Amino acid sequence: MYGLEGRRAVVTGAAYGIGLAIASRLVKEGCAVALWDIDAASLEAARADLARQGALVTTHLVDVSDLGQTSRALDATISDWGAAPDIFVNNAGIGQVASILDATPEDFERTMQVNVRGTFNCCHLVAPLMCDRGNGNIVNVASWFGKSGRPMSLAYCASKFAIIGMTQSMGLDLAKTGVRVNAVCPGTIADTRMREQADEAALSKGLLPAADREHLIPLGRLGKPEDVARVVAFLVSEEAGYMTGQSINVTGGLWMN
Protein backbone atom coordinates (compact mmCIF):
# COMPACT_ATOMS: atom_id res chain seq x y z
CA MET A 1 0.00 0.00 0.00
CA TYR A 2 1.18 3.49 -0.83
CA GLY A 3 -0.27 5.68 1.90
CA LEU A 4 -2.97 7.32 -0.23
CA GLU A 5 -5.70 7.20 2.41
CA GLY A 6 -7.96 10.23 2.29
CA ARG A 7 -6.81 11.43 -1.12
CA ARG A 8 -9.39 12.49 -3.72
CA ALA A 9 -8.89 11.10 -7.25
CA VAL A 10 -10.60 11.68 -10.59
CA VAL A 11 -10.24 9.01 -13.27
CA THR A 12 -11.51 9.70 -16.80
CA GLY A 13 -12.64 6.89 -19.06
CA ALA A 14 -13.32 5.04 -15.84
CA ALA A 15 -16.32 2.90 -16.73
CA TYR A 16 -14.33 -0.15 -17.88
CA GLY A 17 -10.92 -1.52 -18.79
CA ILE A 18 -7.80 0.33 -17.69
CA GLY A 19 -9.73 3.27 -16.22
CA LEU A 20 -11.88 1.06 -14.03
CA ALA A 21 -8.82 -0.92 -12.90
CA ILE A 22 -7.08 2.33 -11.93
CA ALA A 23 -10.14 3.54 -10.03
CA SER A 24 -10.48 0.20 -8.25
CA ARG A 25 -6.81 0.23 -7.22
CA LEU A 26 -7.06 3.79 -5.90
CA VAL A 27 -10.15 2.80 -3.91
CA LYS A 28 -8.18 -0.04 -2.36
CA GLU A 29 -5.46 2.49 -1.50
CA GLY A 30 -8.04 4.47 0.48
CA CYS A 31 -8.91 7.19 -2.02
CA ALA A 32 -12.30 8.75 -2.65
CA VAL A 33 -12.77 8.39 -6.39
CA ALA A 34 -14.81 10.23 -9.02
CA LEU A 35 -15.49 8.20 -12.16
CA TRP A 36 -15.87 10.21 -15.37
CA ASP A 37 -17.06 8.64 -18.63
CA ILE A 38 -19.44 9.08 -21.57
CA ASP A 39 -21.06 5.63 -21.19
CA ALA A 40 -23.88 6.07 -18.68
CA ALA A 41 -24.81 2.38 -18.30
CA SER A 42 -21.23 1.19 -17.82
CA LEU A 43 -20.54 4.11 -15.50
CA GLU A 44 -23.41 3.14 -13.22
CA ALA A 45 -22.34 -0.51 -13.24
CA ALA A 46 -18.80 0.52 -12.26
CA ARG A 47 -20.10 2.76 -9.48
CA ALA A 48 -22.32 0.03 -8.08
CA ASP A 49 -19.50 -2.51 -8.14
CA LEU A 50 -17.10 -0.22 -6.30
CA ALA A 51 -19.78 0.91 -3.85
CA ARG A 52 -20.39 -2.73 -2.90
CA GLN A 53 -16.74 -2.79 -1.85
CA GLY A 54 -17.47 0.06 0.55
CA ALA A 55 -15.85 2.70 -1.63
CA LEU A 56 -16.71 6.40 -1.59
CA VAL A 57 -17.48 6.82 -5.30
CA THR A 58 -19.19 9.51 -7.34
CA THR A 59 -19.84 9.54 -11.09
CA HIS A 60 -20.15 12.21 -13.74
CA LEU A 61 -21.18 11.80 -17.37
CA VAL A 62 -18.73 13.86 -19.39
CA ASP A 63 -17.08 14.05 -22.81
CA VAL A 64 -13.64 15.41 -21.93
CA SER A 65 -13.16 16.75 -25.46
CA ASP A 66 -15.80 19.37 -24.59
CA LEU A 67 -14.30 22.04 -22.31
CA GLY A 68 -17.69 23.14 -21.03
CA GLN A 69 -18.72 19.62 -20.03
CA THR A 70 -15.33 19.05 -18.42
CA SER A 71 -15.57 22.28 -16.43
CA ARG A 72 -19.05 21.42 -15.18
CA ALA A 73 -17.93 17.90 -14.21
CA LEU A 74 -14.99 19.27 -12.25
CA ASP A 75 -17.20 21.83 -10.48
CA ALA A 76 -19.65 19.08 -9.57
CA THR A 77 -16.86 16.80 -8.36
CA ILE A 78 -15.43 19.54 -6.16
CA SER A 79 -18.92 20.17 -4.80
CA ASP A 80 -19.26 16.46 -3.98
CA TRP A 81 -16.03 16.50 -1.98
CA GLY A 82 -15.83 20.07 -0.79
CA ALA A 83 -12.27 20.18 -2.14
CA ALA A 84 -10.29 19.93 -5.36
CA PRO A 85 -8.77 16.63 -6.50
CA ASP A 86 -5.41 15.51 -5.17
CA ILE A 87 -4.98 13.06 -8.06
CA PHE A 88 -6.15 13.33 -11.66
CA VAL A 89 -5.76 10.44 -14.12
CA ASN A 90 -6.33 11.25 -17.80
CA ASN A 91 -7.28 7.84 -19.15
CA ALA A 92 -10.13 8.60 -21.59
CA GLY A 93 -9.07 7.78 -25.13
CA ILE A 94 -10.02 6.30 -28.49
CA GLY A 95 -8.15 4.95 -31.50
CA GLN A 96 -8.52 3.62 -35.01
CA VAL A 97 -6.69 0.98 -37.01
CA ALA A 98 -5.87 3.07 -40.06
CA SER A 99 -2.88 4.34 -42.07
CA ILE A 100 -2.52 7.65 -43.91
CA LEU A 101 -4.06 5.87 -46.91
CA ASP A 102 -7.36 5.07 -45.25
CA ALA A 103 -7.65 7.33 -42.20
CA THR A 104 -10.49 9.80 -42.64
CA PRO A 105 -10.09 13.44 -41.62
CA GLU A 106 -13.10 13.02 -39.34
CA ASP A 107 -11.63 10.02 -37.49
CA PHE A 108 -8.26 11.74 -37.18
CA GLU A 109 -9.87 14.87 -35.77
CA ARG A 110 -12.01 12.93 -33.28
CA THR A 111 -8.98 11.00 -32.02
CA MET A 112 -7.05 14.21 -31.47
CA GLN A 113 -10.04 15.88 -29.83
CA VAL A 114 -10.58 13.09 -27.29
CA ASN A 115 -7.00 12.01 -26.62
CA VAL A 116 -5.11 15.31 -26.87
CA ARG A 117 -7.68 18.05 -26.39
CA GLY A 118 -9.38 15.98 -23.68
CA THR A 119 -6.11 15.69 -21.75
CA PHE A 120 -5.48 19.40 -22.24
CA ASN A 121 -8.99 20.35 -21.09
CA CYS A 122 -8.67 18.39 -17.86
CA CYS A 123 -5.16 19.63 -17.08
CA HIS A 124 -6.08 23.21 -18.03
CA LEU A 125 -8.80 23.15 -15.38
CA VAL A 126 -7.28 21.09 -12.59
CA ALA A 127 -3.61 22.14 -12.68
CA PRO A 128 -4.22 25.71 -11.41
CA LEU A 129 -6.20 24.34 -8.46
CA MET A 130 -3.37 21.97 -7.56
CA CYS A 131 -0.77 24.73 -7.99
CA ASP A 132 -2.73 27.07 -5.70
CA ARG A 133 -2.77 24.35 -3.05
CA GLY A 134 0.91 23.52 -3.56
CA ASN A 135 0.58 19.80 -4.29
CA GLY A 136 -1.09 17.27 -6.56
CA ASN A 137 -0.45 14.48 -9.02
CA ILE A 138 -1.51 14.20 -12.65
CA VAL A 139 -1.03 10.94 -14.54
CA ASN A 140 -1.65 10.79 -18.28
CA VAL A 141 -2.27 7.46 -19.97
CA ALA A 142 -0.15 7.48 -23.12
CA SER A 143 1.03 4.32 -24.92
CA TRP A 144 4.14 2.64 -26.26
CA PHE A 145 2.67 3.81 -29.59
CA GLY A 146 3.63 7.27 -28.36
CA LYS A 147 7.30 6.27 -28.33
CA SER A 148 7.59 4.50 -31.67
CA GLY A 149 5.47 4.94 -34.77
CA ARG A 150 3.49 1.79 -35.48
CA PRO A 151 1.77 0.62 -38.66
CA MET A 152 -1.94 1.25 -39.17
CA SER A 153 -2.08 3.60 -36.19
CA LEU A 154 -1.60 7.07 -37.64
CA ALA A 155 -4.02 9.09 -35.49
CA TYR A 156 -3.46 7.04 -32.35
CA CYS A 157 0.34 7.36 -32.56
CA ALA A 158 0.10 11.09 -33.22
CA SER A 159 -2.14 11.58 -30.20
CA LYS A 160 0.00 9.53 -27.83
CA PHE A 161 3.24 11.19 -28.95
CA ALA A 162 1.49 14.47 -28.14
CA ILE A 163 0.49 13.28 -24.67
CA ILE A 164 4.09 12.32 -23.85
CA GLY A 165 5.25 15.75 -24.99
CA MET A 166 2.54 17.42 -22.91
CA THR A 167 3.57 15.36 -19.89
CA GLN A 168 7.19 16.45 -20.19
CA SER A 169 6.28 20.10 -20.70
CA MET A 170 3.83 20.16 -17.79
CA GLY A 171 6.29 18.31 -15.60
CA LEU A 172 8.79 21.11 -16.15
CA ASP A 173 6.29 23.94 -15.86
CA LEU A 174 4.68 22.71 -12.65
CA ALA A 175 7.70 21.25 -10.84
CA LYS A 176 8.28 24.30 -8.64
CA THR A 177 4.61 24.38 -7.57
CA GLY A 178 4.65 20.97 -5.90
CA VAL A 179 2.57 19.35 -8.65
CA ARG A 180 4.01 16.28 -10.36
CA VAL A 181 2.98 15.11 -13.84
CA ASN A 182 3.85 11.66 -15.19
CA ALA A 183 2.54 9.22 -17.77
CA VAL A 184 2.12 5.49 -18.16
CA CYS A 185 2.67 3.86 -21.54
CA PRO A 186 0.73 0.58 -21.72
CA GLY A 187 1.66 -2.09 -24.22
CA THR A 188 -0.81 -4.67 -25.52
CA ILE A 189 -3.46 -4.82 -22.81
CA ALA A 190 -6.28 -7.40 -22.82
CA ASP A 191 -9.77 -7.02 -21.39
CA THR A 192 -10.39 -3.49 -22.57
CA ARG A 193 -12.99 -2.14 -24.97
CA MET A 194 -10.29 -0.49 -27.06
CA ARG A 195 -8.49 -3.84 -27.39
CA GLU A 196 -11.72 -5.52 -28.55
CA GLN A 197 -12.38 -2.79 -31.09
CA ALA A 198 -8.79 -2.84 -32.35
CA ASP A 199 -8.86 -6.62 -32.77
CA GLU A 200 -12.13 -6.43 -34.72
CA ALA A 201 -10.71 -3.74 -36.98
CA ALA A 202 -7.46 -5.69 -37.43
CA LEU A 203 -9.30 -8.84 -38.46
CA SER A 204 -11.40 -6.88 -40.95
CA LYS A 205 -8.15 -5.70 -42.58
CA GLY A 206 -6.56 -9.16 -42.61
CA LEU A 207 -4.25 -8.42 -39.67
CA LEU A 208 -3.57 -10.57 -36.61
CA PRO A 209 -5.42 -9.91 -33.34
CA ALA A 210 -3.44 -9.31 -30.17
CA ALA A 211 -3.75 -12.88 -28.88
CA ASP A 212 -1.95 -14.16 -31.97
CA ARG A 213 0.96 -11.79 -31.29
CA GLU A 214 1.39 -12.73 -27.64
CA HIS A 215 4.52 -14.74 -28.39
CA LEU A 216 6.32 -11.51 -29.33
CA ILE A 217 6.05 -10.17 -25.77
CA PRO A 218 9.17 -11.02 -23.73
CA LEU A 219 7.19 -11.71 -20.54
CA GLY A 220 5.02 -14.12 -22.51
CA ARG A 221 1.53 -12.71 -21.96
CA LEU A 222 -0.77 -9.85 -22.80
CA GLY A 223 -0.96 -7.14 -20.18
CA LYS A 224 -3.89 -6.76 -17.83
CA PRO A 225 -5.55 -3.49 -16.81
CA GLU A 226 -4.35 -4.16 -13.27
CA ASP A 227 -0.73 -4.08 -14.48
CA VAL A 228 -1.24 -0.46 -15.49
CA ALA A 229 -3.20 0.40 -12.35
CA ARG A 230 -0.34 -0.73 -10.10
CA VAL A 231 2.07 1.65 -11.81
CA VAL A 232 -0.40 4.54 -11.56
CA ALA A 233 -0.77 3.94 -7.81
CA PHE A 234 3.00 4.08 -7.46
CA LEU A 235 3.34 7.27 -9.51
CA VAL A 236 0.81 9.21 -7.43
CA SER A 237 2.42 8.11 -4.15
CA GLU A 238 5.32 9.61 -2.24
CA GLU A 239 7.36 6.58 -3.28
CA ALA A 240 7.62 8.36 -6.64
CA GLY A 241 8.09 11.77 -5.05
CA TYR A 242 11.28 12.51 -7.02
CA MET A 243 9.71 11.67 -10.40
CA THR A 244 8.05 14.11 -12.77
CA GLY A 245 7.79 14.37 -16.55
CA GLN A 246 8.37 10.63 -16.92
CA SER A 247 6.59 8.22 -19.26
CA ILE A 248 6.79 4.72 -17.82
CA ASN A 249 6.53 1.67 -20.07
CA VAL A 250 4.14 -1.09 -18.97
CA THR A 251 4.70 -3.38 -21.93
CA GLY A 252 5.97 -6.74 -20.69
CA GLY A 253 9.31 -5.87 -22.28
CA LEU A 254 7.77 -5.30 -25.71
CA TRP A 255 9.20 -1.77 -25.75
CA MET A 256 12.24 -0.60 -23.79
CA ASN A 257 13.91 2.80 -23.68
- For position 53, what pLDDT does the model report? 83
Task: Domain ranges for the chain, please list them.
Answer: 8-246
Write the CB contacts of 132 (distance below 8 Å, at least 6 apart in sequence): none
Q: For residue range 201-220, what is the model confidence (pLDDT) as tens digits?
A: 667 777 777 787 899 999 99
CATH number of 8-246: 3.40.50.720
Q: For residue range 140-186, what is the model confidence (pLDDT) as tens digits?
A: 999 999 999 999 999 999 999 999 999 999 999 999 999 999 999 99
The answer to whether 37 touches 18, Cβ cutoff 8 Å, is no
First vs last C-alpha separation in the chain: 28
Checking phi first, is residue 5 left (phi over 0); if not, alpha (psi -120 to 50) or beta?
beta
Q: Is the pLDDT of residue 128 over 80?
A: yes
Q: Which of 2, 16, 156, 242 is catalytic?
A: 156
Q: What is the mean pLDDT of the chain?
A: 95
- Whether the full predicted model's pTM is greater than 0.85, yes or no, is yes
156 catalytically annotated: yes
Q: Is the pLDDT of residue 257 over 90?
A: no
CA nearest to 66, candidates 113, 27, 23: 113
